[in-house]
Structure 1
């Protein structure tokens, strides 16, 4: 039995004004080729098929065409809902897609048996049992209890989520016993574990007040296919618990990731082989930083790299300069006006400011005034002087109004007419 574990496609993502349609189409075509070449029996998508609950029509078209193609080559597909997905949008075609060998679990089911799927191998015989667990929302597993403290709510939520994982796993075990006891059990999940890390494009998800789920509360499945984190990684050093990551870089800070899907081969009830299949990048993307001189050299090098291709690179630039340059954006654009390069984003890094920050001792919030906090927050933004002046003036006005209101409240509490 062979499966491919993938997740976080984010079909329909808008990327700083750019469409990812061509990249996603290239990925899906590549994935179909891998399914055929590797003789894959099932593909599992562990959440975030779409980037929003109302994906654009081209994203739905890519999704539907992929499902039809998977049906034509005889490979099963399992789609789990993620935090970006709309349960209703995914479920609206659930019964129709089941006729094409695609299983859709957009959200937690009322009948937990509906989250246990028997997958067939290439001989059409039972090959694995899947515990299909999508992104879990608090209302799916827990009733609200009045009077609980924050820590009590978190503890109750962890227990409820762990209970849901184990309830599905117990049903899968019962089914395995009925079928002879030699089938692997695969579980899924779309969540943040304590051992995982985020990138700029990962939206922080909280199940209630719970930011991350303890990995030791996951079920004892033979393989656990996780989604939500865009960086491929195993969890807590366990090779059978994995995030496969997103198939394309969804932000510039993902450029150093080796984008991949995970191929897992089972022998009997056990994992025989786990192998990442690396995804070729169809869109050239770069993230460069340094002085203006350094930036110019780096852009020239990128142009040389692209000279033998028809590709146009998307570039994020972070410039280190102590000088305020009102025409910084234009200076960068002029550097590559004749090259196949699109400057997607320009950021400033104030070298002196960063140096002073590193030299300053850490301060607690109690040592700072509201104005201090406001100024520190402004330092984190790349703003023009006029914008800083305007925001500071507005802040001062708001603080003055608040202080005036406090004095009025104190006067009224003492019975003094105002």
Structure 2
């Protein structure tokens, strides 16, 4: 039996207002071709199917288009919700999708037994605990007046208890079957990028890899966009996002993980690289240096390369600002699209603009970054961590 692990599609994602739908379409074309050629039996999608809790009509269309193509393959599909997904949105068509052998678990169900999906293919048996992103209310009871530290410890304990109960249910009901656990969470020691939204209090409630107790044969994780194994035993994996979602991922080789199961054991875990269709680039220096770098860039890719420009000048002047803006707006190289730009000067400007570097676009600053900067500028505060935690709770409730 062949099982393909992918996650963090983030359908509807824009990189600094540049739509990445084409990137995903090319990935889906490649994925379906690979699955057909390699006769993949099970597809696991470990959360963050959509980039927003309320996807656009274009995002919905892309989602259903890829599902329509996938159901033409002889493949069991299991999809779980992530912290970007709305459980209600993902679950809305789940009964209809069952008819096409697609199991969707958008949020934590009432009973753990509802997470378990049994699959039998090519004489092999598999059981999957399809665990979605677990919200605060799924794993603990909040108490008025609790401290920041108490909340973190309770979340960690709640996650550990939840996954211990999953292992217990497996051992009592499916102990002779190959076992995969899906999850969407932060495991301590994982390398993160800029594009993951903070999960469970800014990732500080991340759990140890030991939480899984060595019971599953494979743990198929989502949330972290950099592909990596996070256990010495090499059974806990983030496959990462299929396309680069931030400039911090520009050097990443994206991948899917393919498990081959034989006689109820892992015969092989294959890391399959995803062809890169677009380059993300960062050019820094003086305006003249950056201009030269951009004009001399000549690499060809299937999709236009996206660029982050950081111009550093010694002396502030209106002329330099105007020259910078003109250059960025002209988009001088047809192989490139400048989607993020920043102009900084060695001499500091006093006043409100001190909060961020000169030239920083408000669209490039997250609400959390803005709040943290405000706290830095506010003297005399001693409970900044509690304030940050409260603000993160607000952002999570608002899905920001």
Q: In the TM superposition, what are the counterparts of 1:131-142 in structure 2 within 5 Å?
A: 131-142=129-140
Q: Secondary structure at the match of 2:256?
A: strand
Instruction: Find the structure with the greater CA-based Rg.
Output: 1
Any conservation in 1 of the 2:345–2:358 contact (CA below 8 Å)?
no
- Look up the SS of the partner of 1:239 in the other structure: coil
1:213 maps onto 2:207 in alignment: yes
Q: Per-residue CA shift, 1:309-363, capped at 9, x if unaligned?
A: 67432211112221322121213455x535332211111344677xxxxxxxxxx
Of the three residues 244, 257, 262, the one matched with 2:239 is: 244
Compare relative contact order (CA 8 Å, sep 6+) and give the higher one, 1 or 2.
2
| Corresponding residue for residue 292 of structure 1 | 287
TM-superposition CA deviations, 1:48-106 (whole Å, max 9, x none): 00001111112112211222222211111110100000000011111111111111111
Alpha-carbon displacement from aligned partner over 1:24-69 (angstroms, at most 9, x marks no partner): 1111111111111222111111110000111111211221122222
Structure 2: how far apart are the matches of 1:35 and 1:143?
42
List per-residue Cα deviations over 1:201-223 (Å, max 9, x = no partner). 11111169953122221242111
Structure 2: distance between partners of 1:158 and 1:332: 46
Any unmatched runs of 5+ in structure 1?
Answer: 354-371, 385-394, 400-418
SS at match of 2:174: helix
Give the structure 2 partner of residue 129 of structure 1: 127
Is residue 277 from structure 1 mapped to residue 275 from structure 2 by the alignment?
Answer: no
2:354 matched to which residue of 1? 378
- Greater shift, 145-154 or 110-119, is seen at 145-154
Deviations 1:176-227 (A, max 9, x none): 24xxx2x321011111111113222111111699531222212421111111
Question: Which of 304, 326, 330 is the equivalent residue of 2:326?
Answer: 330
Unaligned runs of 5+ in 2: 361-373, 379-400
Aligned-residue Cα RMSD (Å) equals: 2.6
Cα 1:237/1:349, change in 2 over 3 Å: farther
TM-score under structure 2 normalisation?
Answer: 0.82
Contact 1:116 1:171 in 2 (8 A): no
**In structure 2, do the counterparts of structure 1 residues 28 and 44 end up closer, same or farther at CA, with 3 Å as the change threshold?**
same
CA distance in 2, matches of 1:219, 1:60: 37
CA contact (8 A) 1:195 1:236 kept: no
Give distance in 2, aligned partners of 1:211 and 1:81. 19
Q: Would the alpha carbon gap of residues 90 and 274 (structure 1) be closer, same or farther in structure 2, given more than 3 Å must change?
A: same
For 1:185 and 1:92, how far apart are their aligned partners in 2?
A: 27
User: Within the alignment, does 1:176 sit opposite 2:174 as a pair?
Assistant: yes
Alignment of 1:343-382 (within 5 A): 343-350=338-345, 378=354, 380-382=356-358
Moved more, 207-216 or 257-266: 207-216
